[in-house]
Structure 1
Amino acid sequence: MSASAESPKPSPTWLATWGGYIFAGLGAFLFASKGIWIKVAYQYDIDASSLLAVRLLFATPFFVIGGLATYWRMKSRGQEGPPPIATRPDLYLKTLAVGALGYWFASYTDFESLVTLTPQFERLIIFTYPLFVIVFGAMFFQQKMRVSALWTFAIAYAGIAFIFVTDLRIQGSVIFTGALWCLASSLSFALYLLLAKPLIARMGPSLFTSWAMSGAAIATFIHFLNVHRLSDIHWSPSLFWLTLGLAIGATVAPSYLTNFALSRISSQANAVISFINPIFTLGMSVLILRLPASFADIIGTLLVLLGVGLYTWLDQRAAKNAAQPASG
């Protein structure tokens, strides 16, 4: 046996093989719990702007510390980072503005929608944001749109319409108001994703998130102080723990879990796993909030999952076929 023979590579550990899928599943579960935390917090006489302000008060330091740690780690290793603020102030101002759009406006409109909507209906409307990303990308960002797969949009929105009509008949026009708030959240979050992509590529995800969360915090606290005083929030131990759980359990933790997952599995695999998000929300609404799972909820959820899932599958298949070299 020659000395130059290669030793066999050790087989990957169980965590290396399945860790990414576990992180993605946990991230999807925790993201799905956001509406549950909010609905429970509303029982303590707190409004959307106050709840959002307290959530960011708890969550922002974690993201800022993460961004600073990444910056100093890159600097200590001599890695090239983003340009200094003095030379590119526009880059950082854009990041603050985009962060305010994605982490303040999209969140505030989402919180307002949950005043009247059930968490499962809110989650289904939010879940259609990839469709808006596709439409806005084609309209404003010169991105290609698979026209042949647009019929899948109709399936997803048929599910939302089915639940909407049923809830409108039972609860009245307040459902219409909540759905408009939620639609505004989905639209603004889709626009945020498109605007954020080139900024993330230039700054890196961790530093971008740090600055974006700072922009959201500034916008949130300006908004809060325009409509409230600090004394308007009536604290109780239960409300404190609920807002802390919302900030850590449904904001910070799932963000990092999703990033960990993306470092181990493909974005396509992570997207497929995220399809269980509305199912988690529906289950938690039944088990924790004791809300009934109606026939409309179940059928509507299945239609939304089918529509979004089909478009994702068709888009990935078309991209894979386009990437393959032509035979001949």
Structure 2
Amino acid sequence: MQLTKSFWFGVGIGVLGVVLFSSKAVMVKLAYSYQVDAISILLLRMLFSFPFYVIIAYLYRNSSNKVVVGRQDYFWVVFFGFVGYYLASYFDFVGLTYIKASLERIILFLYPTIVILLNKIFLKHPITKIQIGAIGLTYLGVVISFWDEVAIHGSHIYLGGFFILLSAITYASYLVGSGWLIPKFGVMKFTAFAMIVSCICVFIHYSVVSEISLFSFSWEVYFLGFLIAIFATVIPSFLVSASIKIISSSNFAILAGIGPISTIILAAIFLNEVLTLLQFFGAIVVIVGILLISLIKKK
């Protein structure tokens, strides 16, 4: 395949999108230093990003892929918006209250393996022996990193890891289940609809459980909420979609391997987080395993 300028442009915006997505955990941890809870910072993220997705939904309201969209399809959009963006985000933000950002990204990076397992269980897709080996390798890497973290900081790390794993599972469920809906709605319309559902779920959640006034946070918390919404949510979602369109999802899956490394570097710079040599080795093992899976799928 000849590598054209457009291909390298797709690679460039894909890398930028992955790095911006990776910054989310770091900014959430920074917000927690101002004594804000998980649902509050998640609310600010959704509050600032909500208008952008409403505009996108409006602009693409008449777009059609010449496929009949039924009432049941909209029900599934609501369901997957609830599972894939609301629950996954909430579990992620709660998990980050217990574990460091770099470890969070390592665990979240398991979602491609969960997609393969869910496809096997529910859609009867075969799994090759090489894929089984690659999946085992990724989980070995997580165990190595996680075990060392527990030894250093105590058993509460288990709870954080559990919530992050729930986030990975719910996001993988969204990817598996929504695959048949995206061709009907189109990527932009489906993403906008699902995000709007997620935002509404967060608004309801906050109004029911939180006793904290929306106007009681320091300006740093609002600023970080804005950065998370725009630079770690809205902009990278478009960059990633554009990159996938240019270079294909298989090539982008390989680019995604820089995500954990990016988070580790950003966490070291802004949070003074340091991985032990054993944890860094575990992270490399996870990345190698996911890249093997991506290369196998591409082949």
Moved more, 125-134 or 161-170: 161-170
CA offset digits 1:127-156 (Å, max 9, x no partner): 010001000011112323224420111211
1:204 Cα deviation after fit: 0.9
Q: Distance in 1 between the 2:65 and 2:112 partners?
A: 32
**Cα offsets for 1:27-57 (capped at 9, x unmatched):** 0100110100100001111111111111111
**Contact 1:146/1:315 (<8 A) preserved:** no
Sequence identity of aligned pairs in percent? 31
| Contact 1:278/1:301 (<8 A) preserved | yes
Any gaps of 5 or more consecutive residues in structure 1? Answer: 1-11, 318-328
Match of 1:223 in 2: 205
Residue in structure 1 matched with residue 286 of structure 2 by the alignment: 304
Per the alignment, residue 170 of structure 2 pairs with 188
Higher deviation after alignment, 136-145 or 104-113: 136-145
Q: Distance in 1 between matches of 2:197 and 2:157?
A: 31
Which amino acid is the alignment partner of residue 278 of structure 2? Answer: A
Matched position secondary structure for 1:26:
helix
**For structure 2, which runs of at least 5 residues remain unmatched after alignment?**
none
User: Does the CA contact (< 8 Å) of 1:81 and 1:203 recur in 2?
Assistant: no
The DSSP-based 3-state class of the residue aligned with 1:44 is coil
Answer yes or no: is 1:42 the counterpart of 2:24.
no
- Contact 1:92/1:211 (8 A) holds in 2: no
Supply the distance in 1 between the matched residues of 2:235 and 2:214 (Cα, whole angstroms). Answer: 29
Q: Which residue of 1 aligns with 2:21?
A: 31
CA distance in 1, matches of 2:65, 2:258: 38
Q: Deviation at 1:275? A: 0.3
Equivalent residues of 2:250, 2:297 under 8 A apart: no
Provide the residue aligned with 2:46 in structure 1. 56
- For residues 156 and 32 of structure 1, the distance between their equivalents in structure 2, rounded to whole angstroms, comes to 19
Q: Deviations over 1:245-276 (max 9, x none)?
A: 00000000110001111221121211111101
- In the alignment, structure 1 residue 116 sits paired with structure 2 residue 98: yes
Q: Secondary structure at the match of 2:213?
A: helix
Alignment of 1:127-138 (within 5 A): 127-138=109-120
Aligned-residue offset at 1:13? 8.1
Which is further off, 180-189 or 156-165? 156-165
Q: How many residues align?
A: 298
1:150-172 alpha-carbon deviations (Å, 9 max, x no partner): 01112111111111111111111
Name the counterpart of 2:60.
Answer: 70
| TM-score (norm: length of structure 1) | 0.86
Distance between the aligned counterparts of 2:51 and 2:232, measured in 1?
15
**Aligned with 2:246: secondary structure?**
coil
TM-score, with structure 2 as normaliser: 0.94
Closer, same or farther: CA 304–80 of 1 in aligned 2, 3 Å = closer
How many angstroms does 1:101 deviate by?
0.5
Q: How far does residue 230 in structure 1 lie from its aligned partner after superposition? A: 5.5
Q: Structure 1 residue 293 and structure 2 residue 275: aligned? A: yes
Whole-Å Cα distance in 1 between the matches of residues 35 and 67 of structure 2? 43
Residues 64 and 213 in structure 1, CA contact (< 8 A), matched pair in contact too: no
Larger Rg, first or second structure (1 or 2): 1
- Deviation larger for 233-242 or 295-304: 233-242
Rounded Cα–Cα distance in structure 1 between residues aligned with 2:10 and 2:238: 12
| Correspondence for 1:92 among 74, 94, 99 | 74
Alpha-carbon displacement from aligned partner over 1:169-210 (angstroms, at most 9, x marks no partner): 111111000000011011111101011111111111111112
Aligned-residue offset at 1:239? 1.2
CA contact (8 A) 2:85 2:198 kept: yes
* Counterpart for residue 322 of structure 1: none
Which one of 250, 265, 279 corresponds to residue 247 of structure 2? 265
Is contact 2:88–2:171 with CA below 8 Å preserved after alignment? yes
Q: Look up the equivalent residue of 2:23 and give its one-letter code.
A: S
Post-superposition offset of 1:286: 0.8
Distance 1:132 1:66 in 2: 30
Question: Within 2, Cα distance between the matches of 1:153 and 1:234?
Answer: 45
Q: Could you tell me how far apart the structure 2 residues matched to 1:219 and 1:257 are?
A: 25
Q: Give 4+ residue runs of structure 1 displaced > 3 Å after superposition.
A: 79-84
CA distance in 2, matches of 1:123, 1:269: 20
